Structure 1
Amino acid sequence: MVRQAVLYGLALAAVALLLDWLDYSHAMRLHSTEFYVLCIAVLFVALGIWVGHRLTPSPRSAMFVPNAAALQSLGISAREAEVLTLIAAGHSNKVIARQLAISPNTVKTHVSHVFEKLEVASRTQAVDRARSFDILP
């Protein structure tokens, strides 16, 4: 953590030094104004790319394996996990019932059990909580 703070501090100092040099050389009219605009534009493009790379989460690997320990500790059955996966895909209860060849009332029961076990009140919260436990990709 300290090393990262030192590196960020050095990078910030280097950028500040570069900006001061650009300001000084612009005041002395060493180069045309377009050169300074280009330098600052390149600096901000590089900063934007770096920030975007740091803030964008890396994609998960293609081979996602659900956290079996979390499933077991929460008491989520295999069928409830299937229903949760289909909820995450955005399917309605009727579509889930058709895909799993069960009645819509059974789907409602599974959904209510999943909500209870994850301690949530909505489908969105269930998906978020399941992703936080690495149950869903």
Structure 2
Amino acid sequence: MRKTILVFGLLILALLILFQFSKYAIISGDLDSEFAIAIVAIVFFFVGVYLNKKSLHKRHVVSKTINYKKIEALDISKREYEVLIGIAEGLSNKEIGEKLFVSESTIKTHVSSLLTKLNAKRRTQALQIAKGFNII
């Protein structure tokens, strides 16, 4: 986090220095305004490319090893596991029901059963526990 703040601070400082330099150069007559605008545009282009690389294209390392023995040990049924996957996808009970072709009340029953089996009070807590067990 500190590195990110430092990098952004240095970028802002560099841009401010560039603006001051271009303002001075334009006032003194050594630099045409079009040229100064072009320099600023090029700098902003490269800053944008840098920020795009650093922030938008982070690789997410996701462990795909599902602990099926833990699923069996918790006695989670196949349908409950499908509901758990729906919860992990951020779907509502109604959306999960439509996806699995069952009623919303059936999904509520499965969610309640999952919460009991995972010893959780909320759906978000159930997801945290399930991720900790490597079952999603």
- Measured on the aligned residues, the alpha-carbon RMSD in Å equals 4.4
TM-score, normalised to structure 2's length?
0.54
Q: How many Å apart are 1:135 and its aligned residue?
A: 5.5
Structure 1 residue ranges without an equivalent (≥5): none
- How many angstroms does 1:93 deviate by? 1.1
Who is 1:65 aligned against?
64
Give me the whole-angstrom Cα distance separating, in 2, the residues matched to 1:108 and 1:82: 13
Name 1:84's counterpart in structure 2: 84
CA-CA distance at 1:42 after TM superposition: 2.2
Counterpart in the other structure of 1:44: 44
Contact preservation (8 Å) 1:25, 1:31: yes
Counterpart code for 2:86: L
Q: How far 1:37 sits from its partner (Å)?
A: 1.3
1:95 aligned to which of 80, 99, 110 = 99
Q: Which ranges in structure 2 are unaligned for 5 or more consecutive residues?
A: none
1:60/1:5 CA distance change after superposition, 3 Å? closer
Query: Are 2:76 and 2:114, in contact at CA under 8 Å, matched by a contact in 1?
Result: no
Q: Cα distance, 1:44 vs. partner?
A: 2.4
Aligned 8 A contact 1:97 1:107 in 2: no
User: Could you tell me the percent identity over the aligned residues?
Assistant: 20
Query: 2:20 and 2:41 mapped to 1: Cα distance?
Result: 15
Structure 1 counterpart of 2:27: 27
Distance in 1, matches of 2:130 and 2:28, equals 57
Cα distance change, pair 41–119 in 1 and its aligned pair in 2 (3 A): farther
CA deviation profile, 1:83-104 (whole Å, cap 9, x unmatched): 2223427443143146xxxx87
